[in-house]
Amino acid sequence: MSAPVPKPQANMGEPIARREARAKVTGAARYAADMPVANPAHAYLVTSTIGRGRVLGFNEAPARAVPGVLAVMTHANRPKLQEVKHFFAGGQGLTAVPPLAGPEVHHDGQIVAMVVAETYEAAREAAHRLGVRYERQAPAATFGSKGLVEQRTAEVLKERKDPALGDAEAGFRAAAAVVDAQYGTPTQHHNPIELFATTAHWLGDELTVYEPSQFVYGLRTGLAEQLGMPPEKIRVVNDFVGGAFGSKGALTQRTALVALAARQLGRPVKLVATRDQGFTISGHRHETRHRVRLGATREGRFTAYQHDIWELNGRTDPYVNGGIENSAAMYAFPAVASTGRMVRADRNPPIFMRSPPEVPVMYALESAIDELAVRLSMDPVELRRRNDTDRNWVTGKPYTSRSLMQCYDAASEAFGWRRRNPQPGSMREGDWLVGWGCATATYPTQMSPAVARVRLAADGTARVEIAAHDVGTGAYTVIGQMAAQCLSLSPERVAVTIGDSVLPPGPVSGGSVTTASACSAVKLACDQILARLGLAGGVDEPQRKAAFEKLQLGAIEETGNYVPASSRSKSTAGLYSGSVDISGGANMENGVKTMFAFGAEFVEVRVHARTREIRVPRIVGAFAAGRIMNPRTAHSQLMGGMIWGIGSALHEFTEIDTREARYINDNLAEYLVPVNADIRQVDVIFVPEVDQEANPVGAKGIGELANVGTAAAVANAVFHATGRRIRELPITVDKLI
């Protein structure tokens, strides 16, 4: 069964199929670990079995005795590396701690050695035979553990201010109803199907790295710093990335180790880390705790919003999500108070995971809004409507476009919301308690600097080159569509090359920026071509051909640079030098306008009256995100986002053995995500929206939009079904008994 192909509406491109679809389903698509290299050696990581302490020594003899072993790299013999900076300190590193830096163990699963052998099997065997002696200290695992250190985020990261507006306490005093509640979200792991793989291959002093990355330029820059070599001598390639969600956005420790081993051995080295190692050698979505206070008048006008957040971090790096600057922009909040805190434990460094701050922060806010609606005996959609706004009250800046209530109208109509009996527990079918809930989806519209090279050839074909990435989203397809549309070519006449650091620098594939940034750069490059052809006012095929013949050119090549306003003053070190600012658009960060995509999600849950089993028979989401480049690929992203949201509400969390600060369910059998049997009807509705200020193509980005708010919608529906408010995710059967 497949979903019908969505028809394009106003301000949407054609719903063409992905250009790599056939390559993917036939296995022709090559991922990083598939890239052929001659005579590779194979690496296997050894990771710590303690959560905190020191390595006292190794017993290498049993490992070295395994036939085919070529090298055992530890902190005692690792070749020299330069320092690497954390990405919050202007660098590219997941952590500022160098790999195999010394005997200190900062977290369970830290890389303590790497074995290289003729075969994968020999490397694995030797890795398991390597003796490691530790001096163990008791680690602090999570909230409530002994030995945590709490810091105010604004003191650690000076640029992170706690959003504030007016007198919140006065607002709460003036309120007719106040909700004051605490919410919690768990550790989650991205678990992309493609494992964390790295192949390093030297040719003289030039290094090629095949690694799935959301930012080949960033990886190149960071690795060049670490290896003390010019970035131009490193090439990072990935044709396809088999899922990332944030986990492949930063330089992890493994890459330099594989590069060093390949240099030492004088042959290519390939590493494919195991699924369980992936839980600790990259990042994760960290635990959060929230206190939310929300006040409103009897008529349902918000009087004040307070949000305090605690974010669990490792001890070595300064990562936080924040996110209250976004949630505070959602509604007409006349007063806002907030604090952010970083809580240090003995854990691997966290990193962005799909809609990093919005998922936990909006879960808390949208749950609190539902709780407030119950106190006010008001429909939760109506409560949101009464507080809809055309500006961010904290900054005073207007939205470029905002279609939140149109999304609520479309989704509630399709869902049949008006048939809802608001009384909790009132809707029942046999043994099943039926609950309906809703919440807002949102994601800020962000941009990344990007340069695209577009070449139009005399035979009426074009080539687009940009170091963007396809993390499974359809980037190849929409980038090609953009050029095809601008140049009046059919999409199959446009070749697209991405995922390679020899190409002009593309956007980081994070923050839902790829489509808006890459397509803007492509459009600007095409505009330059059209101008050179004298076709700036528009182009059709005969016009283009005539102009082409007149110029008698074999090919016309142009580079379009897109530098979003927010990046003007920021360093783009390692990126294309000489980028020019031709954005002309507003950016949520540049002090001009507020830019967000929006959606509204409605969920039906069924909770079994006796066993408390929870099911989600249907979910309806309506979304407005400016120009939709391709309604088919967009539909898939939004559907996938909602399914992930259901998983985040009901299934997904990483369990921790608090004695050793160790992840327990570090495999896909026990780390639960929704399977087909968990997901029934998922409806995606597009609400057409035009945004002429966001960026040159007016696209807002949808990669992270749809899984924001889903968890709150499910939690609100569970309350409606049962009268039980679950304030800690995931909502599992035991919490409802």
Does 635 contact ligand MOS by CB under 6 A? no
Does 357 contact ligand MOS by CB under 6 A? no
The three-state secondary structure class of 549 is: helix
Name the one range near ligand MOS by CB under 6 A: 72-80, 97-105, 351-359, 626-634: 351-359
Question: What's the min distance (Å) between Cβ of 326 and ligand MOS?
Answer: 13
Strand partners, 604: 436, 618
Q: What is the residue whose two structure tokens read 């005969």?
A: 542
The single residue among 48, 110, 214, 403 that binds ligand MOS, judged by CB under 6 A, is 214
Q: In sequence order, what DSSP letters do the residues of 432-497 get, joined into one string?
A: EEEEEEEEEEEEE-----EEEEEEEETTS-EEEE-B---SSS-HHHHHHHHHHHHHT--GGGEEEE
The single residue among 126, 353, 687, 699 that binds ligand MOS, judged by CB under 6 A, is 353
Nearer to ligand MOS, 236 or 372 (CB): 236
Residue 324 near residue 338, CB atoms below 8 Å? yes
Question: What's the min distance (Å) between Cβ of 502 and ligand MOS?
Answer: 23
Size of the site for ligand MOS (CB under 6 A): 11
Question: What's the min distance (Å) between Cβ of 356 and ligand MOS?
Answer: 5
Question: What's the min distance (Å) between Cβ of 458 and ligand MOS?
Answer: 40
Question: What's the min distance (Å) between Cβ of 507 and ligand MOS?
Answer: 11
Nearer to ligand MOS, 47 or 247 (CB): 247
The three-state secondary structure class of 290 is: strand
Nearer to ligand MOS, 70 or 351 (CB): 351
Does 268 contact ligand MOS by CB under 6 A? no
Question: What's the min distance (Å) between Cβ of 681 and ligand MOS?
Answer: 27
Residue 365 near residue 285, CB atoms below 8 Å? no
Does 249 contact ligand MOS by CB under 6 A? yes
Q: In sequence order, what DSSP letters do the residues of 50-104 get, joined into one string?
A: SSSEEEEEEE-HHHHTSTTEEEEEETTTPPP-----BGGGTS-BS-SSPTT-SSE
Q: How far apart are CA 697 and CA 691, in angstroms?
A: 9
Catalytic residue among 20, 211, 660, 704: 704
Q: How far apart are CA 213 and CA 197, in angstroms?
A: 10
Does 510 contact ligand MOS by CB under 6 A? yes
The single residue among 40, 283, 380, 511 that binds ligand MOS, judged by CB under 6 A, is 511
- Identity (one letter) of the amino acid at 405? M
Nearer to ligand MOS, 207 or 513 (CB): 513
Closest CB to ligand MOS belongs to which residue?
246
The single residue among 53, 139, 246, 640 that binds ligand MOS, judged by CB under 6 A, is 246
Residue 213 near residue 197, CB atoms below 8 Å? no
Decide if 704 is catalytic. yes
The three-state secondary structure class of 214 is: coil
Name the one range near ligand MOS by CB under 6 A: 32-40, 352-360, 366-374, 381-389: 352-360
The single residue among 86, 267, 341, 354 that binds ligand MOS, judged by CB under 6 A, is 354
Residue 300 near residue 383, CB atoms below 8 Å? yes
Nearer to ligand MOS, 91 or 249 (CB): 249
Question: What's the min distance (Å) between Cβ of 382 and ligand MOS?
Answer: 33
Q: How far apart are CA 408 and CA 386, in angstroms?
A: 13
The single residue among 240, 352, 443, 663 that binds ligand MOS, judged by CB under 6 A, is 352
Measuring CA to CA, how many Å separate 590 from each of 416, 452, 516? 40, 23, 17
Does 356 contact ligand MOS by CB under 6 A? yes
SS3 content of the chain, % helix, strand, coil (to 5): 30, 25, 45
Nearer to ligand MOS, 353 or 526 (CB): 353
Between β-strands 596-608 and 614-624, what pairing exists: parallel, antiparallel or unpaired? Answer: antiparallel
Question: What's the min distance (Å) between Cβ of 273 and ligand MOS?
Answer: 19
Q: How far apart are CA 462 and CA 453, in angstroms?
A: 10
∠ CA 480-481-487, rounded to 5°: 90
Q: How far apart are CA 582 and CA 605, in angstroms?
A: 48
Nearer to ligand MOS, 5 or 193 (CB): 193
Specify the length of the chain in residues: 737
Q: Under the rule (CB under 6 A), what is the footprint of ligand MOS?
A: 214, 244-246, 249, 352-354, 356, 510-511
Catalytic residues: 704
